[in-house]
Amino acid sequence: LTADKYAVKRGDFAKLSDEDLSHFHSILNPNQMITDTNDLIAFNQDWMKKYTGQSQLVLKPKTTEQVSKILAYCNERKLAVVPQGGNTGLVGGSVPVFDEIVISTASMNKIRSFDESSGIFKVDAGVILEAADTFLAEKGHIFPLDLGAKGSCFVGGNVATNAGGLRLLRYGSLHGSVLGLEVVLADGTVMDSMHSLRKDNTGYDLKQLFIGSEGSLGIITGVSILCPARPKSVNIAFLGLESYEMVQKCFQTARSDLCEILSAFEFMDHDSQLLAAKSLKTTHPLCQEDETGVDSVPEYPFYVLLETSGSTKEHDDEKLENFLEKVMGDETVVDGTVSQDETQLRTLWTWREGIAEASQQFGGVYKYDVSLPLDSMYSLVEAVQERLKKLNLSSTEDESKPVYEAVGYGHIGDGNLHLNVAVREYNKEVEKALEPFVYEFVSKHHGSISAEHGLGFQKKNYIGYSKSEVEIRMIKDIKHHYDPKGILNPYKYI
């Protein structure tokens, strides 16, 4: 087996045999094993339809003990495996490259416990993020992570990718909010560290190794996480701005004037809104009226979605009003709309969250999620647009050109830019024009080639742009120590 399209050779792993299937039958019920060719498709293909594997077997354990027995056997036999959650990952990490066995956590979906006084929440890894948050909402709490894929991604997958999302600005990274994990190591050993402690300085904080390890070190089966009180008052302001400089200025003012109630600060460029408009097919919140009525096409070069969350409506409203008066008074912001009603809030969020979906409506998307200093952040989008034009690869109108549009948006509050290059089909020439160009740009500006999506398969060869040789050696040492046969998610990460 050679994945020619990826220029990778299959590792020296065992091939799945009838004896292996019989052994898995002794651990799992028949309905926990998928071998049907049609049913396998969804597990072999990633969300972007960019990476496709050839796995012949998906296992869906229900308990940590079953995961442990499966891994102990795979390790013994040297059968390669891919841990899979909701399969919403955006770097090709969640699907096989060759015939690796997919171990899906989809059937591990129980809420284990919730302590209302402390907010400590313990769940199986396969609980869907939105289901976790809905459960918490009834108790007056909130999951400290939110992202566009919440209806499909799993809490275990979120931890495995160290997902950032839309409110990292407020609730911080999972490295801070996760209190404990239960993880099955490559040889089947169960590391039970489902702690409920905020403070524990007894030795290395081992759980941190697994947060963001992308299935390369063990399978996360349980998560213990601190969930704050749910804000009672939420406002959203959707703003139009004339330049990226004004976006930065607006952010600085929001940070100082909205301070403790600021819970999200997202930016979108004009073309990202144009893509979203084509996909959502509704009127843009800041559309302009023309002589024929309302024009649904967005017209400002930049947009900001700003959210405030607090406990007292009057207090938050007053703060937001004062802020808006200031930024509109000095023309940092030239247009805007504000919403407090639940349905309107959701609608406004779709113009930000919907960009991911919208970017691939033309055939595919090359995605880059990078950390960059705020002042040079948008220049990456401009540099890529210019490069694609110069190479004559890009045109929105001309269907013979592979690239439809390159757009920028992201979590300004976290210094995280998303660059999406929407293409009419995946194309090697476009890929060559983008990589390593994007990574070199990021490295030159002292950024990170992955702010939140991880390395997966897409960036495994590019880690050197963000990590030193010593760091890479230490990462490899850890991987080799805990997975000496390399059965966990091979061909990815490093």
Q: Does 421 help bind ligand FAD (rule: CB under 6 A)?
A: no
Q: Which stretch binds ligand FAD (CB under 6 A): 3-11, 189-197, 214-222, 231-239?
A: 214-222
For the chain, the straight-line distance linking the first and the last C-alpha, in angstroms and rounded, comes to 21
- CA atoms of 120 and 200, how far apart (whole Å): 15
Q: Does 453 help bind ligand FAD (rule: CB under 6 A)?
A: yes
Q: What angle is formed at CA 264 by the lines to CA 262 and CA 266, rounded to 5 degrees?
A: 130
Q: How far is the CB of 387 from ligand FAD (least distance, A)?
A: 26
- Of the pair 66, 105, the CB lying nearest ligand FAD is at 105
Q: Does 405 help bind ligand FAD (rule: CB under 6 A)?
A: no
Q: How many residues sit in the footprint of ligand MLT (CB under 6 A)? A: 7
- Of the pair 149, 178, the CB lying nearest ligand MLT is at 149
Q: What are the start-end ranges of the E strands in 25-73?
A: 33-34, 58-59
- CA atoms of 446 and 457, how far apart (whole Å): 23
Q: What angle is formed at CA 207 by the lines to CA 206 and CA 210, rounded to 5 degrees?
A: 110
Binding partner of 125, given ligand MLT, ligand FAD, none, CB within 5-8 angstroms per partner class: ligand FAD
Give exposure, 449-459, as e/b (b: 16+ Cβ within 10 Å): bbbbbbbbbbb
At 52, is the secondary structure helix, strand, or coil? strand
Annotate each residue in 90-109 with x if it binds ligand FAD (CB under 6 A) or - if it does not, as one string.
x--xx----------x----
Q: Does 156 help bind ligand MLT (rule: CB under 6 A)?
A: no
At 114, is the secondary structure helix, strand, or coil? strand
Residues 35-54 that bind ligand FAD (CB under 6 A): 47
The torsion defined by the Cα of 316, 317, 322 and 324, in degrees rounded to 10, comes to: 110
Residues 122-161 that bind ligand FAD (CB under 6 A): 125, 147-149, 153-154, 156-158, 160-161
Q: Does 367 help bind ligand MLT (rule: CB under 6 A)?
A: yes
Selected binder of ligand FAD within 165, 180, 413, 447 (CB under 6 A): 165
- CA atoms of 354 and 280, how far apart (whole Å): 8
- CA atoms of 10 and 26, how far apart (whole Å): 28
- CA atoms of 101 and 292, how far apart (whole Å): 58
- Of the pair 168, 262, the CB lying nearest ligand MLT is at 168
Q: Does 354 help bind ligand MLT (rule: CB under 6 A)?
A: no
Annotate each residue in 389-418 with x if it binds ligand MLT (CB under 6 A) or - if it does not, as one string.
-----------------------------x
Which residues are near ligand MLT by CB under 6 A?
A: 90, 148, 355-356, 367, 369, 418
